[in-house]
Amino acid sequence: MRAWSECRDEELVSALAGDDLGALHELYRRHAPWLSVRLSRRCSDRDAVADALQDCFTAAWRGSARFRNDGEVPAWLWGIAVRRLVSRLRGRPEAVLPLGPWDGASEPSAEERVLLGVEYGDLGAALARLSPEMRAVVQATVLDGLSNKETAQLLGIPSNTVKTRLHRAKAHLRHELAGGIS
């Protein structure tokens, strides 16, 4: 039998169904580091991050049958991890980290101007002009792939507010990217 370190992620996940701790450990070794960093960017409480990470791999172990082979393992794991973090942080809005400053956009470098400007219009600058509340909603829904309800739980705001803010943010971005900076 090949060593676990030579197996693909998908093979490791299907080995979890056979109660193989070696496969789980290899999966953890590969994915826990980046998951922990990504979770830490959203939550200031390291205990909550550790708990969410633990919940994530425990859930992956028990629910490996729910992994569909058409998806990517990292995206699957992140989907579990961020939802576990949301439920750990329910009712604790003080532990949720706001987005960092959007430095690159406030004074974009020449490369970034080219990178962002060519393909997407000046997306970076447009995002920078969003209010922090609207950016938090954009990050949770667009970048983290959370549902409106999960975003509402994470940010501690009503679900309707998420919808309104997302709607406004999209309108704002559309307007700016169409070149209508007034």
Partner 1 sequence: MTWHIDDRALESYVAGTADSASGSSAEQHLVHCAGCRERLAVLVPGDLLDRAWTGVLEDVQAPRPSLVERMLCRLGVSTDQALLLWTAPAFRAPWLAATALTVAFVALAATTSDTRGLVLFLVVAPLLPVAGVALAYGPDADEAYEITTAAPASALRLVLLRTVAVLVTTLPLIVVAGWLVPGQEGLAVTWLAPSLAAVTATLAASTWTSVSRAALAVCVIWGVLVVSVAGPGFASPTTAIAPPNIPWYLVLAIVCVVVLWRRGGRLHQLGGIS
Name the residues that contact partner 1, by CB under 8 A.
21, 24-25, 28-34, 36-38, 40-41, 46, 49-51, 53-54, 57-58, 61-62, 72, 74-75, 78, 99-105, 112, 116, 124, 127, 135, 139, 143
Q: Which two tokens stand for residue 181?
A: 């900076």
- Choose between 34 and 65: whose C-beta lies nearer to partner 1: 34
Q: Which residues pair with 96 in a beta bridge?
A: 43
Do the beta carbons of residue 5 and residue 25 sit within 8 Å? Answer: no
Q: What is the largest CA-CA distance in the chain?
A: 65
Question: Exposed/middle/buried for 53, CB within 10 Å: 0-12, 13-18, 19+?
Answer: buried
Q: In the 8-state DSSP scheme, what is residue 142? A: I
- Choose between 84 and 162: whose C-beta lies nearer to partner 1: 84
Minimum distance from residue 61 beta carbon to partner 1 (Å): 5
Packing angle, helices 46-62 and 73-88, rounded to 10: 130
Minimum distance from residue 160 beta carbon to partner 1 (Å): 25
First vs last C-alpha separation in the chain: 65
Residue 112 CA to residue 176 CA, distance in Å, equals: 17
Minimum distance from residue 38 beta carbon to partner 1 (Å): 6
Minimum distance from residue 85 beta carbon to partner 1 (Å): 12
Minimum distance from residue 163 beta carbon to partner 1 (Å): 22
